[in-house]
Amino acid sequence: MTDGSAIRLRVRGPQGVVQVATDSIASWNDLKQQITEKTGVPDFDVKYGYPPQPLNTESIDGAVKLSDLPIKLHGEQLIIMPHNNIQAQLSNPMSGTKPPPEAVKPLPSQQTSAPAHRPGDFPDQPLNLTRKQQYGNVESDPPEIPVPALDGALVLRVMPDDNSCLFRALSSAVLGSALDGMTELRSIVAQGIQAQPDLYTAGMLEKAPSDYCRWIQREDAWGGGIELAILSQHFDLEICSINVQDLRVDRFNEGRPTRCILVYSGIHYDVCAVTPFSGAEPEFDRKVFEVVRSGDDDEAMDGGALDAARELCRVLQGRHYFTDTHRFTVKCNQCGVGGTGQEWAVQHARETGHGDFGEGDS
């Protein structure tokens, strides 16, 4: 880097933003190699500028000097989009290395303060519970909380009501896709349970471990605290789940150098993301945040993401974007009978075999 002018740029990938330094006489292949080394993404498309526009990388000869490219790279931010999100994440040591068995046990606080929504709370036939349509206005008019240190604003990415919301939300964060990774995450949970029979007993799971493993791999089985504990350990990151109703933060695998943030609204999970500009497509999101720890003050050292997420949840709380699972009105969509609370729905399902419920009018 002595014969050409210096080039410094930022690269936004699935795990966040990294800095890249090179010079003008380096080749396009040299830059691509640096990007791969820093992001763990071997094959990708590129967007640049504001608003982002595609860079036709297929037409660029690998040997061309960076100074001869049609765009000025110094000071630019490139957004890379993996061709194969799952392969890219598994090749990234930040998320693809499975910890040893002794490291997979949830902390005691995770076993006692997990979100109330757990698959073990329900009968063998998974329940389908549809939220009120009024919640949809959060998706059409989402609140945004500025996060200057992360060059964007924190927003809520709303997941579909299909009993896979937890897996969709987490998959979008750690695998780059809300759809492609759901089956993989369910399989990881089953493997984690089978690998630790002394921890994941019938008493904890409220059913035989083998039955639970079959159950959780069904596409209509809900996930909750047990799943978050296992998946946070597998991907070696801290998962913060914020309960909208009381703003409680449940932490799984606490103390790791990266975190993602989920929002729990009683019967549903969504994911927090930092978007580079208002209205940007989700492909530009950042959903995994680095945490720099200094003494006991770690919350302010993630660029402000967790503080912004708490503020976002206060706004959601004001819009009543939550379901009180103990007191809300439930209606069975199969027979029309209504009742109050999650426990009534579970009991009705056990007595009738019905599994399709809707949130009724209070």
Whether the Cβ atoms of residue 73 and residue 32 lie closer than 8 Å to each other: no
Is it the case that residue 118 has pLDDT exceeding 70?
Answer: no
Is it the case that residue 106 has pLDDT exceeding 50?
Answer: no
Of 206-210, 268-272, 347-351, the least confident = 347-351
What is the token pair recorded at 33? 């190699």
Distance from C-alpha of 230 to C-alpha of 106, rounded to nearest angstrom = 7
Burial class (CB in 10 A: 0-12, 13-18, 19+), 278: exposed
Distance from C-alpha of 247 to C-alpha of 261, rounded to nearest angstrom = 13
Is beta strand 77-82 parallel, antiparallel or unpaired with respect to 6-13? parallel
Please state, rounded to an integer, the average pLDDT across all residues of the chain: 78
Of 11-25, 86-100, 150-164, 329-343, the least confident = 86-100
| Residue 144: predicted pLDDT | 93
| Residue 182: predicted pLDDT | 86
- Confidence label for 243 from pLDDT (cuts 50, 70 and 90): very high
Of 59-73, 229-243, 327-341, the least confident = 327-341
pTM of the model: 0.61
Is it the case that residue 302 has pLDDT exceeding 90?
Answer: no
| Residue 24: predicted pLDDT | 87
Whether the Cβ atoms of residue 28 and residue 73 lie closer than 8 Å to each other: no
| Residue 152: predicted pLDDT | 93
How many contiguous H segments (helices) and E segments (strands) does the chain have?
11, 16
Distance from C-alpha of 306 to C-alpha of 240, rounded to nearest angstrom = 8
Distance from C-alpha of 41 to C-alpha of 266, rounded to nearest angstrom = 35
Rounded average pLDDT over 283-291: 91
Residue pLDDT, tens place only, 164-217: 999 999 999 998 866 667 889 999 999 999 999 988 999 888 889 999 999 999
| Residue 320: predicted pLDDT | 86
Distance from C-alpha of 213 to C-alpha of 88, rounded to nearest angstrom = 27
100 to each of 94, 95, 235, 303, 322, how far by Cα in Å? Answer: 15, 14, 12, 30, 37
Is it the case that residue 160 has pLDDT exceeding 60?
Answer: yes
Over the range 14-53, which residues count as b (16 or more CB within 10 Å of their CB) and which as e? bbbbbebebbbbbbbebbbebbbeebbbbebebbbeeebe
Give the Cβ contact number of residue 318 at 10 Å. 10
Give the residue numbers annotated as catalytic, written as ranges.
Answer: 162, 165, 268, 354
Distance from C-alpha of 87 to C-alpha of 96, rounded to nearest angstrom = 9
Of 82-91, 100-109, 116-125, the least confident = 100-109
Distance from C-alpha of 280 to C-alpha of 89, rounded to nearest angstrom = 22
Is beta strand 356-359 parallel, antiparallel or unpaired with respect to 329-332? antiparallel
What is the token pair recorded at 354? 């019905």
Which among 187, 167, 186 is positioned nearest to 177, based on CA atoms?
167
User: What's the CA dihedral at 134, 139, 142, 146 to 10 degrees?
Assistant: 140
- Angle, nearest 10°, between helix axes 209-216 and 182-195? 170
Q: Give percent above pLDDT 90 in the chain.
A: 34
* Residue type at 253 in one-letter notation: N
- Confidence label for 79 from pLDDT (cuts 50, 70 and 90): confident
Is it the case that residue 252 has pLDDT exceeding 90?
Answer: yes
In a 3-state reduction of DSSP, which class is residue 71? coil
Rounded average pLDDT over 279-283: 85
| Residue 122: predicted pLDDT | 38
